[in-house]
A and B are shown apart, each in its own frame.
Chain A
Amino acid sequence: MPKFPSSQWVEEYAKKLNENDAYKDAGKTWEGDLVFVVEKDQSFPKDVYIYLDLYHGECRKAVYAESLDQIPKAAFTYKGPYSNWRRLINKEIDPIQGILTGKFKLEGSMMKIMRYTKAAKEMVNTATMVQTEF
């Protein structure tokens, strides 16, 4: 069972994302990369980064990194502390409500991303499909 966050987890997540028809359907016109930032908090010692290159419902590249230098600059960033990521993956936080309540921050064009809220939801659903160890 891969531990979150880790390169094994990211690999498994990208695989599940590409197998998820609901994501494929919701993200079929999406073009753009994004970075998930898992920020350090009392339960996790350092910031880590998950880079995803998403194109027309497919995850073309997924990279786990412990430094921003190791990944390309992405159009969107979704970041929050580790404990909130844990709650998100356990479906205790809705990804959009997470932004509205300040548990996560989104950087990038809100107008664009608001057209893909279904895809965002499916990305979180996919994360819940990964057997995860915290």
Chain B
Amino acid sequence: MWFFRSPEIVFGEDSLSYLSTLDLKRVVIVTDRYLKESKVISMVKNSLPASAQIVVVGDVPAEPSFDDMLPSLENVRNFSPDWFIAVGGGSSIDTAKILFALYERPDLSVYDITPIVKLNLRKKSRLIAIPTTSGTGSECSWAAVVSERGEKRKNELASKEILPDIAILDPKMVIDLPEEQTRNTATDAIVHAIESYVSSWRNPYSDALAEKAIELITGNLPSVLIKADNIKAREQVHIGASMAGLSFSNSQIGLAHALGHAFGALFKIPHGKSVGIFLPSVVRFNYPYCSDRYDRLNAIFPEDIREKKLDLTLENFLNKIGQPLKIHQMGIDEKNYSNQVETIVELASESTGITTNPRDANREDIRNIAMSVVNLSK
């Protein structure tokens, strides 16, 4: 027995207009400080019914801690919204999920947001997610990542009740996404698709979505990186990233995410970059345990970059799109990194991604993979 969970997904050009068809009276828009005065927020506001009252929570920092969210919670409670609309990347969407849960249930602690606690949400409001990046998959997932202030750790909160009710995938929302973020977030999506495809919790639904996600992203991302306003290619990458999100949300992630969360938290590296760097080594480590599956995914990559094995294809692809494969390419001192590898191993060992990886990895295996991004091809 297992489940497939998904929000209602509205996609394609002009999908933002769907907002005007909803009965929205009091709306909290949750976004970050860079977007709050931007065109995308104006587009969302202009798509809402004219009578809707709006409050913008616009101070979500990158990778927020719960403490960062607390001041906004009071404003939200005073406003009494009937809808939350998250507009942004993973941090804004995850923050909206938590504000939504704690607005609905003021008696809860953020740490109650776990799969074993029945939250009984949606008594007062509902949640819409409108991603402005193509990669985190947060709009389709029942997880929220919250950093812990003072600790170099990210908590992975999860509950089926924080899955957004509606996800809107309008390519206009990502057309101005800078090249660096386009690359990083799409890399994250590729890692989602590949890890979910070999996860020990994989299932026919997650398989189908992962395969299509790889096809859409790898077939269109290079075009987007050459011509940022190629809206058709943008749309395909956006849909592919969301499919990858649905895939991992319904099957789980693996070792590249376990390492990437630890590495990203320690060195403040953007999430896509921090998971992407480990992916080829993780694929190499897992290969004997899921070669058929990796070979099947490999066959989906565009022919011009495809190698005999998926790990090599990935190195080609990541090179082609300009994603670093070694830490010195990120400007990180290798000695400093090596000194902190034990912390990375420790944190990665505690990640849930370690459990669903197709091959069991002990601390030595994790250490070897962590060190595989050092010392080569300088």
- Chain A residues, CB < 8 A from B354: 117-118
Question: Which among A22, A97, A118 is the interface contact of B201 at CB below 8 angstroms?
Answer: A97
Q: Verify if A63 is at the interface (C-beta below 8 Å from B).
A: no
> Which of B155, B156, B360 is most buried by chain A, counting CB atoms within 10 A of its CB?
B360
- B355 proximal to A (CB < 8 A): yes
The answer to whether the Cβ of B115 comes within 8 Å of any Cβ in the partner chain is yes
Question: Counting CB contacts under 8 A, is A86 at the interface?
Answer: no
Determine the distance from Cα of A109 to Cα of B117 in the docked complex, in whole angstroms: 11
Chain B: minimal CB distance from A29 (Å): 8
Q: A26 in the interface, Cβ–Cβ < 8 Å?
A: yes
Task: Provide the main secondary structure of the chain B interface.
Answer: loop
Give B104-128 as 1s and 0s: 1 = Cβ < 8 Å from A's Cβ atoms.
0000000100111100000000000
CB-CB under 8 A from B116, the residues of chain A are 99, 105-106, 110
Shortest Cβ distance from residue B250 to the other chain A in the assembled complex, whole angstroms? 11
Asked if A67 is an interface residue, CB under 8 A from chain B, the answer is no
Indicate if A121 sits at the interface (CB-CB under 8 A).
Answer: yes
* Contact count band on A: 20 to 34
CB-CB nearest in chain B for A125: B360
- Complex contact A111–B155 (CB within 8 A): yes
B2 touching A97 by the CB < 8 A rule?
yes
A114 touches B201 (CB 8 A): no
* Set of chain A residues within 8 Å of B360, measured between Cβ atoms: 22
**Are A101 and B362 touching (Cβ within 8 A)?**
no
A interface: dominant SS: helix
Q: Shortest CB–CB separation between residue A26 and chain B, in angstroms?
A: 7
Q: Could you say which residues of chain A place their CB within 8 Å of the CB of B2?
A: 97, 101
1/0 per residue, CB under 8 A from B, across A112-123: the answer is: 001111101100
Task: Tell me the nearest residue of chain B to A107, going by C-beta.
Answer: B116
Q: Is A74 among interface residues, defined by CB-CB distance under 8 A?
A: no
Q: Which of B233-264 contact A (CB under 8 A)?
A: none
Does B281 lie at the interface of the complex (its beta carbon under 8 Å from any beta carbon of A)? no
Within the complex, the shortest CB–CB distance from B279 to chain A, in Å, comes to 20
Contact A114 B363 (CB under 8 A): no
Q: Does B1 contact A (CB under 8 A)?
A: yes
The chain B residue sitting closest to A121, CB to CB, is B355
Q: How far is the CA of A114 from the CA of B155 in the complex (A)?
A: 9
On B, residues with C-beta under 8 Å from A are 1-3, 111, 114-117, 155-156, 200-201, 346, 349-350, 352, 354-355, 360, 362-363
If A25-B362, A118-B354 are given as contacts, then 12 extra A-B residue pairs at C-beta distance below 8 Å, sorted by A number, are: A22-B362, A26-B362, A29-B346, A96-B355, A97-B2, A99-B116, A100-B115, A106-B116, A111-B155, A114-B352, A117-B352, A117-B355
26 contacts between A and B (CB under 8 A): A22-B360, A25-B362, A26-B349, A26-B362, A29-B346, A94-B200, A94-B201, A97-B2, A100-B115, A101-B2, A105-B116, A106-B116, A110-B111, A111-B114, A111-B155, A114-B114, A114-B156, A114-B352, A116-B350, A117-B352, A117-B354, A118-B349, A118-B354, A118-B355, A120-B355, A121-B355
